[in-house]
Chains A and B, each alone.
Chain A
Amino acid sequence: MLELAPLGWYLALSAVLFAIGVVGVLVRRNLIVIFMSVELMLNAVNLTFVALARSMGSTDGQVIVFFVMAVAAAEAAVGLAIMLQLYRGRETINADEVTTLRW
């Protein structure tokens, strides 16, 4: 095995990536970039799953990563279709200008 670092380092990297994703969702106004930040968070969690699976010597964590990827693909397909429809109707995908559902 190619042992790069102890497990704690992987978990720390994953925490940093997750925090960057959270900040991206809060800070950016472009819906597509918000989406990419969500993907970033999903990937941070994937890294945690794989690192802990390796630490425990079990394959289950890797199977969960498989499911996370499937959910991310479904989410991207539907979300991007919604954005296309939104752009056709409103000529914008800025989160500040799409407020119909906000009370």
Chain B
Amino acid sequence: MIVPLFAVLALLTVAASLVVVLHTNPVYSALGLVATLFLLAVFFVALDAHMVAALQIIVYAGAIVVLFLFVIMLLNLQVEARAMAPAPLVVVAAAGGLLLGGLVLAAVLREPELPTAAVGPGYGGTEALAERLFTAYTLPFELTSVLLLVAIVGAVVLGKKRMP
């Protein structure tokens, strides 16, 4: 058990995600998101999900966040005057967030220790993942391709012409 290392990584992850939520400059928020995604990829590797960790970095940090940064640069967004909601709402949201986090934390830590199953050497690799994906999950996989096609068409149509 290397719990101290986990604690350091977890604190870094929480700090990076707080930058996403609290920084008034959207570019810094995007960079905080990149840091969060990379740290989560580290946790995925620790959980033997090597393929998912690689996808996390390539697809999330490499493609989705770059898309965010493109739009931020395109819109030339500076630090806004009113980045946050009115103060009462902020207080309620923060209290609600603490409550939600505390509730789930309490529920999780109350559970008895869950066992960790023994897994073979190929667990979490491309082959194991592909085998499940193309046998048990063939239909969802095909539907995902349709979803992505619809998203492509939607993005092209929305981005093309000036709407009234």
Chain A residues within CB distance 8 Å of chain B: 1-13, 15-24, 26-30, 32-33, 35-37, 39-40, 43, 46-47, 50-51, 53-60, 62-63, 65-67, 69-78, 80-85, 87-89, 93-94, 96
- In the complex, what residue of chain A is closest to B55 when comparing beta carbons? A69
Q: Which of B26, B44, B92, B162 contacts A88 (CB 8 A)?
A: B162
Q: Which of A15, A23, A94 contacts B96 (CB 8 A)?
A: A23
Does B105 lie within 8 Å of A27, measured CB to CB? no
**What band does the interface of chain B fall in when counting residues whose beta carbon is under 8 Å from A?**
35 or more
A86 → B minimal CB distance (Å): 9
- In the complex, what residue of chain B is closest to A81 when comparing beta carbons? B158
Does B80 lie within 8 Å of A5, measured CB to CB? no
Does B71 lie within 8 Å of A83, measured CB to CB? yes
Q: Which of A9, A36, A82 contacts B68 (CB 8 A)?
A: A36
Chain A neighbourhood of B33, CB < 8 A: 36, 39-40
Complex CA distance for A58 and B67, rounded to whole angstroms: 33
Complex CA distance for A82 and B154, rounded to whole angstroms: 9
Does A8 lie within 8 Å of B114, measured CB to CB? yes
Does A4 lie within 8 Å of B5, measured CB to CB? yes
Does B116 lie within 8 Å of A7, measured CB to CB? yes
Q: Which of B40, B77, B101, B152 contacts A32 (CB 8 A)?
A: B77
- Interface-central residue, A2, A7, A28, by most chain B CB under 10 Å: A28
Using A40-B33, A62-B52 as known contacts, say yes or no to A8 and B123 having CB atoms under 8 A apart: no
A79 → B minimal CB distance (Å): 9
Tell me the chain B residues, 104-157 only, with Cβ under 8 Å from chain A: 104-105, 108-109, 111, 113-119, 123-124, 128-129, 131-133, 136-137, 140, 144, 147-148, 150-152, 154-155
Complex CA distance for A19 and B73, rounded to whole angstroms: 28
A11 → B minimal CB distance (Å): 4
